[in-house]
Amino acid sequence: MAEQRSPHDLPDVSGLSVAVLGGTGDQGRGLALRLAMAGHRVVIGSRSRERAEGAAGELGEGLPVSGAENAEAARGCDVVIVAVPWDGHRALLESLAADLAGKLVVDCVNPLGFDGKGPYALDVEEGSAAQQAEALLPDSRVVAAFHHVSAVVLLDPEIDHVDLDVLVLGDDREATDTVRALASRIPGVRGIYGGRLRNAHQVEALTANIIAINRRYKAHAGLRITDV
Amino acid sequence: MAEQRSPHDLPDVSGLSVAVLGGTGDQGRGLALRLAMAGHRVVIGSRSRERAEGAAGELGEGLPVSGAENAEAARGCDVVIVAVPWDGHRALLESLAADLAGKLVVDCVNPLGFDGKGPYALDVEEGSAAQQAEALLPDSRVVAAFHHVSAVVLLDPEIDHVDLDVLVLGDDREATDTVRALASRIPGVRGIYGGRLRNAHQVEALTANIIAINRRYKAHAGLRITDV
């Protein structure tokens, strides 16, 4: 029986280890840095162990970050953040389905295109990157989150308070609560429930609007949810 | 020649009159109320003049709000907000194309469905409600805005500061600046440029997520854009 609880209650996730697949990219390194600074053991995953270890080493002395090939990173951690470029998303998850079985998988991939008029959202056969992950990983719990974090902000050592809310989407309450708690480990960030996975497309696609906002205002924009 | 200007500069829109088509609904009445409180002459439009006049009268004594049939409301105002239910959107705009010629049309319609699992975004042939409006109204300037405003908040006489940013999307800088300025006439609200009209779908669809947030947190959630 589920007990009555506040939607603001969060579990203690301080002991969870986190893999970041595609973690040598800007978004991946930014998330790895902030979660390691919060005390989590983090493994940056890459196709190349050397590049993963290099990226981990560059994040700073004394942080609990290491590097590994994607499959080893996935197997060795409790939570696995998928931060690969969209065009490698399907192939990577197909190849790692067995390694990701039983894991909590957090998809933060934004399927976007760019042309002379700027960014735009791509159509995804499954509806969204997160739903594609869910379709490819039947033995994992899939949550969508961290779409709008600015890599520039995450990687800026001068910024100790990150001013944004992370929308966390999924159909499994325990899984979304865990990822909300993980997001909230970054000072300034709140992990806010953002709906079911079938409503992930527009959250991913909204990254195109945020890029347009960044260009117009010369900003590193994020979202805050009011009245929550 | 466009002069160099700050993205935060806004034109003076205090003299603009505003029609709200479908203005007897909650969202339409809320916008009509707040814009009239800001001093704009507002005409609530409806298929029924009587219902339009009734809705205008209920908004309060002394406000510059009147009611009219949709076509008359459209012809008589500078800016026309389209706030009809999605299932009447296409037919209404087709019927009013001539009345809306030369007008600045602000589409705030959210194509959503609801089932046992809650709200979800509907597919729209043209990409979004706003793009449908653009396709149906070749002689109007079409901007998308006001998707996430809470009618409950707008209509609450106790709330004098509305805590949200209004994303304003469109391809015509003068038109989006005008609508940004109009949104910013509501105390607390900022009108923020949110990208081109081709990126309107995800802003409309995000209303499904906001409804999910409202249900989870028992809130009237809105968005703020950080670092802008």
ipTM at complex level:
0.96
DSSP, residue by residue, chain B: -PPP--TT-----TT--EEEETTTSHHHHHHHHHHHHTT--EEEEESSHHHHHHHHHHT-TT-SEEEEEHHHHHHT-SEEEE---GGGHHHHHHHHTTTTTT-EEEE----EEEETTEEEEPP-TTSSHHHHHHHH-TTSEEEE--SS--HHHHT-TT--S---EEEEE-S-HHHHHHHHHHHTTSTT-EEEEEE-GGGHHHHHHHHHHHHHHHHHHTS--EEEEET-
* B183 interfaces chain A, CB cutoff of 8 Å: no
Task: Specify the pLDDT at position A5.
Answer: 77
* B113 interfaces chain A, CB cutoff of 8 Å: no
Please identify every stretch of chain B with a pLDDT value under 50, giving residue numbers as ranges.
Answer: 1
Question: Would you call A134 helix, strand, or coil by DSSP?
Answer: helix
State how far the alpha carbon of B202 is from the alpha carbons of A122, A209, B183, in Å. Answer: 11, 9, 20
* B152 interfaces chain A, CB cutoff of 8 Å: no
CB–CB contact A195 B212 (8 Å) = yes
Taking alpha carbons only, the member of A37, A45, A55 closest to residue A82 is A45
A120, A163, A195: residue with CB nearest B209: A195
What's the half-sphere exposure (Cβ side, CA atoms, 13 Å) at A188? 14
From chain B, pick out residues whose CB is under 8 angstroms from the CB of A218: 7
Average pLDDT, chain A: 96
Task: Specify the pLDDT at position B5.
Answer: 77
pLDDT tens digits, one per residue of A76-114:
999 999 999 999 999 999 999 999 999 999 999 999 999
* B222 interfaces chain A, CB cutoff of 8 Å: yes
Do residues A226 and B221 touch, judged by C-beta distance below 8 A?
Answer: yes
CB–CB contact B212 A220 (8 Å) = no
* B221 interfaces chain A, CB cutoff of 8 Å: yes
Task: Specify the pLDDT at position A2.
Answer: 53
Task: Specify the pLDDT at position A3.
Answer: 58
Cα dihedral A182/A188/A193/A199 (nearest 10): -100
Task: Specify the pLDDT at position A178.
Answer: 98
* B227 interfaces chain A, CB cutoff of 8 Å: yes
The distance of A218 to chain B (nearest Cα, Å) reads 8
Six token digits for residue B194:
């949110």
Task: Specify the pLDDT at position A152.
Answer: 93
What does the pLDDT profile of chain A (228 residues) look like in tens digits?
A: 455 678 999 999 999 999 999 999 999 999 999 999 999 999 999 999 999 999 999 998 899 999 999 999 999 999 999 999 999 999 999 999 999 999 999 999 999 999 999 999 999 999 999 999 999 999 999 999 999 999 999 999 899 999 999 999 999 999 999 999 999 999 999 999 999 999 999 999 999 999 999 999 999 999 999 999
Long-range contact pairs involving A188-191 (C-beta distance under 8 Å, separation at least 24): A188/A161, A188/A162, A188/A163, A188/A164, A189/A162, A189/A164, A189/A165, A190/A165, A190/A166, A190/A225, A191/A10, A191/A145, A191/A165, A191/A166
Phi, psi of A81 (to 5 degrees): -90, 130
Task: Specify the pLDDT at position B60.
Answer: 82
pLDDT tens digits, one per residue of B107-118:
999 999 999 999
Q: Which of B5, B9, B172, B199 to mutate to test the interface with A (most CBs of A within 10 A)?
A: B199
CB–CB contact A223 B223 (8 Å) = yes
From chain B, pick out residues whose CB is under 8 angstroms from the CB of A217: 7-8, 193, 227-228
The distance of B69 to chain A (nearest Cα, Å) reads 35
B164, B221, B226: residue with CB nearest A163: B226
* A203 interfaces chain B, CB cutoff of 8 Å: yes
CB–CB contact A203 B209 (8 Å) = yes
